[in-house]
Amino acid sequence: MGNSSSQKFKIFVGIVAIIAMASVLKSFLIKKDQKEVTRIKNERTLGMISKLMILPAEEPVIAIVKGADQLRKEQPFYANVENGDQLLLFPRARQAIIYSPVKNIIVNAGSLTVNDQDSTESQNKK
């Protein structure tokens, strides 16, 4: 009888381990798929914008605008921004672009200001 409950426990532990491994694998695959979807969306966005203007030869950081009302109040650069617009930042080229995928227009483009003093201070702390 003791041997039977020991076997049941081993089977139970084995099943739990398999479920845990399957869950980890599923999570990994979902993250991988999400990265691929993001990459494809970014490529599509860059393709659309490159038809409207010449883009810097670097990979941009792309963000979706979610607080348009607040951004409009804080910075003139965002005067015509709407939720859902895309902000593209090209750090090396020091360029920022706001693109509206709904209207397929460049809402605004301008120079990206990088505070060299902050980056110098952070490098000195290393």
Domain boundaries, the chain: 1-51, 55-126
Query: Among 56-60, 64-68, 97-101, 111-115, which is the least confidently predicted range?
Result: 111-115
Cα–Cα distance, 12 to 20 (Å, whole number):
12
Helices and strands of the chain, counted as H and E runs: 3, 4
Lookup result for tokens 């979706």: 64
- Using one digit for the tens of pLDDT, what is the confidence trace for 17-74? 777 777 777 766 667 778 888 889 999 999 999 999 999 999 999 999 999 999 999 9
pLDDT for res 35: 83
Helix (H) or strand (E) holding 108: strand 105-111
pLDDT band at 95 (very low <50, low <70, confident <90, very high): very high
End-to-end CA distance of the chain: 64
Tell me the average pLDDT of the chain: 84
Q: What percent of the chain has pLDDT over 90?
A: 56
Which residue, among 51, 79, 49, 77, has the nearest Cα to 62 in the 3D structure? 49
pLDDT for res 5: 77
CB 97 within 8 A of CB 106: yes
SS3 11: helix
For the entire predicted model, the pTM comes to: 0.67
